[in-house]
Amino acid sequence: MPRFIVLSRLTAQGNRSMKDHPAELPDIEAEVANLGGKIVERYAMLGPHDFLTVVEVRDNDTAQLLRVADRGGETASRQLLPAIDLNLFIRLLGQSTANTGPYKWQISLPARAIRRLFQGYAYLNNVEKYCKPFTVLGQHHFDTVHGPALFVANHASFMDGSAVYAALPKRYRNRVAWPAAADRFFIRGRRQPNKQGWWFSLMYNSFPLIRGGGSGALSYTDWLIEKGWSIVIFPEGARTSSGKLARFRMGPAILAARHGLPVVPMYLEGLGAIRPKGSREMKAGPVTVRVGEALRFAAGSDPKEAHRAIYHAVDRLRLEAAEVRRAARAEAQPPALGTAAG
């Protein structure tokens, strides 16, 4: 499992508590265990931080939950840093890992005007050409959401972004941003203009999300939300073709709980058949976008509870779609031999 360094600094209340009860350290061990991880080493420190803890947890998103100290952060504040094996680090020194972005100009008026002109090229043309028919169910749930929001959907096709964009109300299309893997879309040194990070930021309003980036992985997302922008996230992290949801990353839940954002669950159906994973050919087919009732979380809510709620909301939409398909198949089946038709 990946390793992280947790630097803890006691608050004034934490210092008083330590003086009164010297044997009671801030309880990070129970938190790590609840996240399915373990503590590798732990030290008390002399300096700007009071404790250093080396932990192993399953991924970066899970590690982000450790940023929030026990008892709501009353006794300690924490800084989270990703760690890497020294020998692996030496091997990686010879490889290019530099990324470009993020570009704060991407939310400027000129950039927004250019995207509005090119929205057909970037998003809508493929929907009009290949999604036949294109159906959005539950659009009325958008009416209950105002201001910054998170739009969370399953990920089955490279056209998922286009489908979500086409389903969104126009008031959100021009104020929504899209995180994209930094190690795929924002690699430094690419020559083709349409393969460079600035192009993705200009055309799609995408920004780099660094996988395993520690506490800084969501900092630019925080900045966008504070500026009044909404975010579209595919929390599975990679395309799936099994028909079931993969495990969700923790990022959306952390953002929703931190900012008190409404989360609109969405389920995309039919996109995988238009261009199956690994194929270069595309064929038109029916696509349905199901929109669920917005979930609302107060700022400071438990991210783990938000994570479960978001997953189940998207999964309920998936189960609804599966039930509709089963009913359609049953209705299309001819009556069994010997059964009266009327």
Q: How many CA atoms lie within 13 A of 164 on its CB side?
A: 26
Quick one: pLDDT at residue 342? 45
Quick one: pLDDT at residue 278? 67
Peptide bond into 102 cis (omega under 30): yes
For residue 88, the Cα-to-chain-centroid distance in whole angstroms is 28
Cα 283 from Cα 226, distance rounded (Å): 40
**Architecture of domain 3-92 in this structure:** 2-Layer Sandwich (3.30)
Quick one: pLDDT at residue 71? 44
Peptide bond into 169 cis (omega under 30): no
Phi, psi of 194, deg, nearest 5 = -80, 10
DSSP conformational letter for 107: G
Domain boundaries, the chain: 3-92, 104-328
Residue with tokens 């998103």: 61
Quick one: pLDDT at residue 77? 84
Q: How many CB atoms lie within 10 A of CB 150?
A: 28
Quick one: pLDDT at residue 23? 65
Q: How many CB atoms lie within 10 A of CB 275?
A: 18
Quick one: pLDDT at residue 25? 65
Paired tokens of 336: 């069994």
Phi, psi of 152, deg, nearest 5 = -120, 130
Q: How far is CA 157 from each of CA 3, 39, 71, 112, 115, rounded to the nearest angstrom?
A: 31, 38, 41, 26, 22
Sequential pLDDT tens for the chain (342 residues): 789 999 988 888 777 877 777 666 667 888 888 888 899 999 999 989 999 999 998 777 778 787 665 444 567 888 888 888 888 777 767 655 678 889 999 999 999 999 999 999 889 999 999 999 999 999 999 999 999 999 999 998 889 999 999 999 999 999 999 999 888 899 887 888 888 999 999 999 999 987 655 555 688 999 999 999 999 999 997 777 677 898 898 999 999 999 999 999 999 999 989 987 767 788 999 999 999 999 999 998 999 999 999 999 999 999 999 999 898 888 887 766 655 554
Q: How many CA atoms lie within 13 A of 66 on its CB side?
A: 38
* Domain topology for 104-328: Glycerol-3-phosphate (1)-acyltransferase (3.40.1130)
Quick one: pLDDT at residue 68? 60
Q: Establish whether domains 3-92 and 104-328 are of one fold.
A: no
